[in-house]
């Protein structure tokens, strides 16, 4: 159950680095149901129930995480049960609405997202497939289906569905971002699907990320994903990598994101032979959760400044989010 995952994450050190959004588009604006036709008014009432429940649950998770740090709060199991109970009437409202209006494409799409949040990926996919069947002009349905196939396969189907979403709405950043991420995650399948070599796969993903950045230039997670690609590119382009990580640093939203980005900049600077700049970035890291990584990277920097060690096995430093 995905809500349980959120509960566990909330108990860890906060704030956490951002992750790419899974929802395709911005939430629909709230309307006065008195100005809508009866079916749309009915749908908006269900959506309002969903929004209210999720707002309450988000607050429960946040508050419980704060209480847990003080030795209080509910156990994960009890909080998960409380969440299930809170969402049950919302699920029933969706089912009742779709019983009355089975051909309402946006209702099928929204219910699929609701079920996916509950961890019912199989039923969510069925709802999204129905939404696409009912309204093949809505790119969000194709994006959500692509997310599903990207996780469970066949991955080639995900590539096709993301491309369809992009064709329908070429100005939506998250579609390019999602496609680039799935391509990087499944490089072998991407190479076969697009009939290109692995390095070309990386560059194709980078191109998609750049297109996503064009429509969402302030997205920190996207900026870090762009910078991560440079770890795999051959030959290395240290200048471009430094530029990418520097841009990510400027977009960081809190101290943890900033200091994590400083670690990446230290690594790239050191690899490029800029040891003084690398040490400067390391000195900016003080967060306790990052000190172990900082220490490993500092040791690597010291080694680089000394003669090569008498050993044949190369040593590599691995930061979170990089290939081993």
Q: Where are the domains of the chain?
A: 1-135
DSSP annotation of 246? H
Locus of tokens 């629909």: 28
Topology of the domain comprising 1-135: 1.25.40
Whole-model pTM: value is 0.80
At 300 the pLDDT is: 81
Residue 167's CB: how many other CB atoms inside 10 A? 11
CA 45 – CA 49 distance, rounded (Å): 6
Give tens-digit pLDDT for 62-84: 888 888 777 777 888 898 899 99
What share of residues in the chain are helix, strand, coil (percent, to 5)?
70, 0, 30
Give tens-digit pLDDT for 130-147: 999 999 999 999 999 999
At 9 the pLDDT is: 37
At 64 the pLDDT is: 86
* Residue ranges for the chain with pLDDT beneath 70: 1-35, 302-324
At 181 the pLDDT is: 97
């Amino acid at each position: 159950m995905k809500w349980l995952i959120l509960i566990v994450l909330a108990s860890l050190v906060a704030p956490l680095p951002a992750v790419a959004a899974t929802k395709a588009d911005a939430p629909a604006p709230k309307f006065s149901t008195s100005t809508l036709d009866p079916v749309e008014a009915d749908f908006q009432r269900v959506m309002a129930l969903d929004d209210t429940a999720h707002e309450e649950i988000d607050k429960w998770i946040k508050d419980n995480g704060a209480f847990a740090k003080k030795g209080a709060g509910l156990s994960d199991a009890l909080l998960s049960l409380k969440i299930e109970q809170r969402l049950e009437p919302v699920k029933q409202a969706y089912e009742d609405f779709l019983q009355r209006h089975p051909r309402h494409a946006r209702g099928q799409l929204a219910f699929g997202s609701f079920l996916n949040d509950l961890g019912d990926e199989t039923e969510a996919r069925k709802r999204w497939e129905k939404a696409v069947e009912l309204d093949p002009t809505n790119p969000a349905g194709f994006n959500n289906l692509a997310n599903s196939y990207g996780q469970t396969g066949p991955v080639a189907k995900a590539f096709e569905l993301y491309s369809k979403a992009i064709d329908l709405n070429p100005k939506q950043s998250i579609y390019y971002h999602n496609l680039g991420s799935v391509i990087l995650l499944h490089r072998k399948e991407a190479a076969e699907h697009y009939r290109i070599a692995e390095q070309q796969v990386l560059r194709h993903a980078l191109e998609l990320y750049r297109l996503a950045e064009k429509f969402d230039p302030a997205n920190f997670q996207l900026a870090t994903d762009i910078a991560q690609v440079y770890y795999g590119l051959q030959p290395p382009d240290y200048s471009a990598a430094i530029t990418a990580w520097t841009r990510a640093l400027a977009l960081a939203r809190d101290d943890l994101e900033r200091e994590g980005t400083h670690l990446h900049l230290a690594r790239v600077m050191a690899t490029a032979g800029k040891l003084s700049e690398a040490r400067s970035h390391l000195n900016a890291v003080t967060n306790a959760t990052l000190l172990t990584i900082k220490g490993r990277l500092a040791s690597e920097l010291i080694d680089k400044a000394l003669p090569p060690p008498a050993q044949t096995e190369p040593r590599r430093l691995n930061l979170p989010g990089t290939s081993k």
